[in-house]
């Protein structure tokens, strides 16, 4: 059994909280195990002016960490599952998906208590095309602008008046003790979350059997089934940051219920679908819901998104 483990992580306060959380759980599980953190800067953290959709997608947050795993500087990487590309390089694997925090989106504003209270023309900040599309579908009179940076930077931009409101993941706010900033939580029926939102994933080299054995107890079976179904929808539709796609699964007994959507960025066209299936085969359910989305116009929406601007 290994007696030392190195976790590579992004340097943001939230990423460090997540890594420290995994560190403390591993040390509690395995007596005598020493766990160290290796904070790193990723390309996604450095490109603060461009949106993820134009800068290269979710892989910008994980590539440098995977390099550290490959060259032996670290044993595991801790990610927010919503930032993990649906296709990992073949030499890597997700060793565990931990129990999910609140998966919902959160409305944050210093002046208004809910999205419905915002006046026409109010500026809403979000880093997500998925959130942008769902906001504009229901509130087309609002102005949605890109919002990049770590969580604290986004709140600073709100507080200095750059935005009337911002929409953020509730999980990050709660993990950093900032739940008091939340004015309202958006029901998934109003703002369907991103695949994997609220869950943490632990990545390592697939060949590191001793590492897999150490990390496996941190996995949560219910969360894993839900996230696998959500990611299967994303994978089937070629999911990346350029696609406004939401997917959210809930477990009831041995049955998964999965809801998903694909939207145009302006929210004028949205295909929605849902289905139920056995929790033992979440990928099959994800594929089924993806097919339903295609039957309801998802391919046409995706084709429009792929066209270059005139």
Q: What are the extents of the domains in the chain? A: 4-98+199-219, 105-186, 230-302
| 169 within 8 A of 40, measured Cβ to Cβ | no
Crossing angle (nearest 10°) for helices 282-295 and 221-236: 30
Q: What pLDDT does residue 55 have? A: 45
Active-site choice (75, 83, 102, 105) = 83
Q: What pLDDT does residue 45 have? A: 53
Q: How far apart are CA 193 and CA 148, in angstroms?
A: 18
Q: How far apart are CA 222 and CA 154, in angstroms?
A: 31
Each residue's pLDDT tens digit, 101-117: 999 999 999 999 999 99
| Backbone CA torsion sign across 124, 125, 126, 127 | positive
Q: What is the DSSP string of 63-121?
A: HHHHHHHHTTS-SEEEEEGGGS-SS--TTEEEEEEPPP---SEEEEESS-SSGGGPPTT
Check for a shared fold between 4-98+199-219 and 105-186.
yes
pTM of the prediction?
0.91
Q: What pLDDT does residue 304 have? A: 87
Q: Is the pLDDT confidence value at 240 over 70?
A: no
Q: What pLDDT does residue 310 have? A: 41
Q: What pLDDT does residue 2 have? A: 75
- Is residue 71 annotated as part of the catalytic site, yes or no? no
- Phi and psi, residue 283, nearest 5°: -65, -35
**Binning pLDDT at 50, 70 and 90, where does residue 307 land?**
low
Q: What pLDDT does residue 309 have? A: 45
Q: In the chain, where do the E strands start and end?
A: 4-10, 34-40, 76-80, 92-97, 105-109, 123-126, 143-146, 165-169, 184-186, 200-205, 245-252, 255-263, 270-278
Determine the CATH number of domain 4-98+199-219. 3.40.190.10
Q: Is the pLDDT confidence value at 43 over 80?
A: no
43-57, 77-91, 94-108, 140-154: least confidently modelled range: 43-57
Task: Indicate the CATH number of 230-302 among 3.40.50.1100, 3.40.50.2300, 3.40.50.300, 3.30.160.40.
Answer: 3.30.160.40
**pLDDT over 90, % of the chain:** 86
Summarize the confidence of residues 299-304 as an average pLDDT.
92
Question: What are the tokens at 305?
Answer: 């998104």
Task: Indicate the CATH number of 105-186 among 3.30.420.40, 3.40.190.10, 3.30.565.10, 1.25.40.10.
Answer: 3.40.190.10
| 275 within 8 A of 285, measured Cβ to Cβ | yes
């Amino acid at each position: 059994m290994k007696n030392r483990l190195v976790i590579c992580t992004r340097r943001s306060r939230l990423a460090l909280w997540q890594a420290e959380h995994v560190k403390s759980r591993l040390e509690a599980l395995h007596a005598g195990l020493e766990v160290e953190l290796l904070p790193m800067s990723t390309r996604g953290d450095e490109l603060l002016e461009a949106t993820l959709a134009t800068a290269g997608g979710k892989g910008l947050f994980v590539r440098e960490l995977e390099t550290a795993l490959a060259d032996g500087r670290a044993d595991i990487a801790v990610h927010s599952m919503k930032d993990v590309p649906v296709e990992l390089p073949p030499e890597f694997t997700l060793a565990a998906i931990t129990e999910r925090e609140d998966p919902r989106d959160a409305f944050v504003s210093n002046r208004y208590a809910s999205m419905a209270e915002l006046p026409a023309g109010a500026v809403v900040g979000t880093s997500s095309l998925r959130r942008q599309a769902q906001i504009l579908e229901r509130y087309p009179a609002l102005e949605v602008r890109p919002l990049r940076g770590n969580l604290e930077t986004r709140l600073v931009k709100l507080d200095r008046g750059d935005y009337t409101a911002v929409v953020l993941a509730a999980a990050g706010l709660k993990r950093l003790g900032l739940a008091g900033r939340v004015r309202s939580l958006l029901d998934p029926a109003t703002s369907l979350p991103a695949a994997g939102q609220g869950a943490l994933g632990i990545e390592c080299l697939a060949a590191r059997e001793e590492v897999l054995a150490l990390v496996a107890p941190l996995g949560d079976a219910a969360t894993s089934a839900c996230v696998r179904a959500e990611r299967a929808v994303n994978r089937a539709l070629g999911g990346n940051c350029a696609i406004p796609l939401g997917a959210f699964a809930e477990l009831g007994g041995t049955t998964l219920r999965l809801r998903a959507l694909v939207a145009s960025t302006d929210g004028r066209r949205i295909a929605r679908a849902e289905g139920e299936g056995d929790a033992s085969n979440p990928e099959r359910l994800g594929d089924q819901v993806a097919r339903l989305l295609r039957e309801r116009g998802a391919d046409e929406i995706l084709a429009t998104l792929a066209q270059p601007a005139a």
